[in-house]
Each structure stands twice: as structure tokens, then as C-alpha cells.
Amino acid sequence: MATKEKVYGKHLKVSTKRAGYKIRGTVGIFIFLVLLGLFMVLPIYLAVVMSIKPVQELFVFPPKLYVIEPTLSNYTSMFRICSDLWVPFSRYVFNSVFVTVTVTVCQVVFSAMAAFCLAKIKFPGAKVMNSIIVISLLYQANVIYIMQYMVLAKLGMVDTWMALVFPSIASPMCLFLMRQSVSQIPDAMIEAAKVDGAGLFRTCWQIVMPNQKPAMMTVIIFAFQAAWNIQGGTLVFNESLKTLPTVVQQAASAGLARAGVAMAAAVFMLVPPIIIFMLAQRQVIETMAHSGIKD
């Protein structure tokens, strides 16, 4: 690559645009994506619309795609139902935030370090680990669920916050994604860091990861989304340990009669992941100037 750049250096200044870039094609792509995007958004749009529909509008015939008299009553009644429970609503919010932040941070930090080692360091056991990771991706979470419960019970973690957090920390999916991405970094870069006297830890966090923003942000999105939806299920019985998804679902689970409240709950739960998504994507776009990542 370096030699190529030298040869083409003069031309590069002349043509910085891509060969494939033609404005007409781009407009075509845009229109196609808008049409398909409309189909993708429609159900979510309907969820939002129905969450602000008053009850009398929910069951009019024919069903309308818009709302005439928007109201927040579905949201208020959702919060009312939630706060009527004997554990205060703020407790569920705290639990959810705690679980989500802990799981996301641990998942991202741990899998980034492990991914760097598995992708770039040749140590005994690396190959075996790599194939174990892929195989464990294929293994169904449902099957090991009961065994996980047994492990948690043996360790005395059932009905504690650890039962919510610990099983989700080591995510083979995040590790696999990071590993795939880190493997694209040229070895020369890691060699150079080594020559400059950087240890593995510093190489990972100061050299490799800053160049991995897209993958890093994607992993954060996945981790947050999964963690945000963690439900106690059978692992936690204590009401004061339960998280938002559990309680919001309880508020919404009364069939179609409470469709409006159910929609409000779904929209409410969707907001934080979307905010994280937007924040993460902005990070990716702002740092798209690649330097020092050439072969």
C-alpha cells in the first residue's frame, strides 16, 4: 500500500472522488431506501400513534393511520399502574439502570481485551478458544438456561442482583464481532507498538481500540440492548430486585383491551436503546478519518 501511494500520490490529489460515485444512481438508491424504509417504520409508527390514541379512537372502524385527539393518558395510566405496586417505580428504574450499565461496561471492556488477544496474539490455546467461541454462538441459550440456574444456585446467587448481571457478562457474540474486526488491523501496527515499548494492555487500549470505533460502537449497541431487556424471570423472586421490562409488561398484559397501554410500554422501552444507538452512530461518523491503519 505504501508504495502504491507513492506512485499514485500525484494522481490522488487530482481525483479524490470515488469512481463509483454518480449522482443519479445515488438518488435512485435514496428513493428505493425511502420506500423500503416506510414499510420498516410502519409498525413502529403505528405503535407510537396508538400509544397516544384515546380509547374511543382505538376501536373505530375503519382503523385510522393517524390520531385525531392525541392524549398522553396511556402513558399516565401505565405509570399509575406501575407505581401502584408495593415497590416504588423508582426502584425498578434504578435496578434497570444498574443492571444495564454494569453489564454493558463489563461486556464491552472484557470482550475487547479478549478479542484483541485472540485476534492478534499467538499464544497456546488461542486457536482452541476461537473455535469454542463460534461453537458457543450456535448453542441455544434456552437449553443451558436450566443448567445456568443450577450453577447460580450452587454459587448461592439466585435471588440476588448477581443472577441478573453475571450470566450476561461474557457474550460470545460481542467477542466474536470484536475479534473479526480486530483481525483486520495490520500486524505491522502491533509490531510497531511493541517496538516502541508498549505493553499488551496499552497496545490494546491506546492503539487498537481507537481504530476500532465502528465495531466498538456496534458492540455497545448490542450490549446495551440485550442488557436493557434483561428480566429476572425465574432467577429473581424478590420484587425489589426486578427490572423495568418485567413491571412494564405486567402493566400492559391484559389483552387487547389495554392495547393503548401496551403500546405506550413498548414505545417507552424503545426510547433508551434508540438514544444509545444515535449517540454511538455519531461517534462512528465523527471519527471516520482513518490514519495509520493501512497495510
Partner 1 sequence: MDTAAIGRRTKKEQRRLTLISMKQNKAAYVMMLPFMLFFIVFTIVPVVMSLPMGFTDFNMVQFPKYIGLSNFTTLFLADKIFIESIRVTLVFAIFTGPISYILCFLLAWLINELHPKLRTIFTLIFYAPSMANVYTVWKLIFSGDSHGYLNSFLLDLGLITSPIQWLTDGSYVLGVTIVVQMWISLGAGFLALRAGFQNIDRSQYEAGAIEGIKNRWQELIYITIPSMGPQLMFAAVMQIVSSFTAGTVSQNLVGFPSTDYKAHTIMSHAYDYGWVRYEMGYASAICMILFIAMYFMNKLISKLLSKYMD
Cβ–Cβ under 8 Å, residues 234 and 163: no
Cis peptide before 245 (omega within 30 of 0): no
Question: Taking CB under 8 A as the rule, does residue 61 contact partner 1?
Answer: yes
Q: Is 114 in the site for partner 1 (CB under 8 A)?
A: yes
Question: 19: which DSSP letter?
Answer: T
- Contacting residue, 158, 170, 192, 198, with partner 1 by CB under 8 A: 170
Binding mask 232-271 for partner 1 (x = CB under 8 A): ------------------------x--x--xx--x--xx-
Residue 192 or 284 having the CB closest to partner 1: 284
- Yes or no: say if 66 and 49 are a contact pair by the CB < 8 Å rule: yes
The residues pairing with 256 across neighbouring beta strands, listed in sequence order, are 254
Residue type, 214: P
- Please give the size of the binding site for partner 1, defined by CB under 8 A: 110
CB of 108 to partner 1, least distance (A): 11
The footprint of partner 1 on residues 120-139 (CB under 8 A) is: 121-124, 129, 132, 134-139
**Minimal distance in Å, beta carbon 98 to partner 1?**
17
For residue 83, the minimal CB distance to partner 1 (Å) is 22
DSSP secondary structure of 74-133: HHHHHHHHHHTSSS-HHHHHHHHHHHHHHHHHHHHHHHHHHHHHHHH---TTHHHHHHHH
- Three cell numbers written together for 211: 481504530
Window 66-105: residues binding partner 1 (CB under 8 A): none
Residues 159-186, buried b or exposed e (16+ Cβ, 10 A)?
ebbebbbbbbbebbbbbbbbbebbeebe
Query: Of 179-238, which residues contact partner 1 (CB under 8 A)?
Result: 180-181, 183-184, 199-201, 204, 212, 214-215, 217-218, 221-222, 225, 229
Is position 41 an interface residue for partner 1 (rule: CB under 8 A)? yes
